[in-house]
């Protein structure tokens, strides 16, 4: 199955972000992809208000993505924001949601591990999800994860136990000393410790386009990558926006699990 990762830089404007998604989805389809992954916060970049733009999965933004996926006969995975329950203070919150839609696919994942780190408190405005999510496409099973989730191996193992041979991680990674190195290390580690392909798709680095970071909001560092079950980076990008393709074969996962049976050998403590 041919997949594509769209490393883009979203902004505040929902319509412009949707136009960007449409452009890259067409490019992915033209390149032969059956599935394209977009970053977290594709609907609106972090550092902007989220509560006022959050919408249900049958709202106008998601519906346009769904219609595009149907039009192109392409599975699209993209980060958006859906309404959450109010916090104890009464303040409204959102859910940080990955929409997965396309031929034979209609599901969503709400980010479980919220980014309360490095001076940012995602939980102030975001309600955490509770359940792993997988879906089938092109004869493969995919697991979903979002950004900070990549630091928590148990979610990726849970996806693998549910049949995933590919783990998708959409992100808007926070910049800072050593952060890009950690993102790359974690993507490779999660591939090896679950013997799955990892599709790590992040927002591009705004600095490559002359945009300075504002505050502690995680707005992306780039370095999207397709990682093999043995931890090899098959395709990758640096900080600038771009599109990469890879051909995934379940037989590679089967070989990895025969040679390196970490899932069969693991123990719970």
Residue 143: Cβ-neighbour burial (10 angstroms; 0-12, 13-18, 19+): buried
CA angle 3–225–111, rounded 5-degree value: 85
Give the active site residue among 34, 40, 122, 127: 40
- Cα 213 versus chain centre, distance: 21
- How many residues appear in the chain? 269
40 is catalytic: yes
Q: How far apart are CA 104 and CA 269, in angstroms?
A: 38
Instruction: Given the residues 34, 122, 127, 147, select the one marked as catalytic.
Output: 147
Task: Let me know if 55 is a catalytic residue.
Answer: no
Instruction: Answer yes or no: are the C-beta atoms of 53 and 44 closer than 8 Å.
Output: yes
**Token pair recorded at residue 31:** 């390149």
Catalytic residue among 111, 122, 127, 201: 111
60 CB burial (10 A radius; 0-12, 13-18, 19+): exposed
Catalytic (active site) residue 214: no
Catalytically annotated residues: 40, 111, 147
């Amino acid at each position: 199955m041919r997949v594509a990762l769209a490393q883009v830089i979203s902004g505040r404007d929902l319509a412009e972000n949707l136009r960007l998604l449409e452009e890259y989805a067409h490019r992915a389809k033209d390149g032969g992809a059956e599935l394209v992954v977009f970053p977290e916060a594709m609907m609106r970049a972090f550092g902007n208000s989220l509560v006022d733009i959050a919408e249900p999965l049958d709202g106008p933004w998601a519906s346009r993505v769904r219609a595009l996926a149907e039009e192109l006969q392409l599975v699209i995975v993209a980060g958006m924001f859906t309404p959450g329950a109010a916090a104890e203070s009464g303040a409204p919150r959102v859910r940080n949601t990955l929409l997965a839609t396309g031929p034979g696919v209609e599901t969503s994942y709400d980010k479980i591990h919220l980014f309360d780190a490095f001076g940012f408190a995602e939980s102030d405005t975001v309600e955490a999800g509770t359940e792993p999510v997988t879906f089938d496409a092109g004869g493969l099973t995919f697991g979903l994860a979002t950004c900070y989730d990549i630091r928590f191996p148990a979610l990726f193992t849970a996806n693998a136990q549910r049949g995933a041979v590919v783990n998708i991680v959409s992100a808007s990674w926070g910049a800072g000393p050593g952060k890009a190195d950690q993102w790359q290390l974690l993507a490779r580690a999660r591939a090896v410790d679950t013997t799955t392909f990892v599709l790590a798709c992040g927002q591009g680095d705004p600095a490559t386009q002359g945009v300075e970071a504002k505050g502690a909001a995680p707005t992306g560092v780039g370095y999207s990558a397709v990682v093999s079950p043995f931890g090899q980076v098959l395709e990758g990008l640096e900080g600038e926006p771009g599109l990469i393709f890879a051909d995934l074969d379940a037989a590679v996962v089967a070989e990895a699990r025969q040679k390196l049976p970490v899932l069969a050998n693991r123990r719970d403590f």
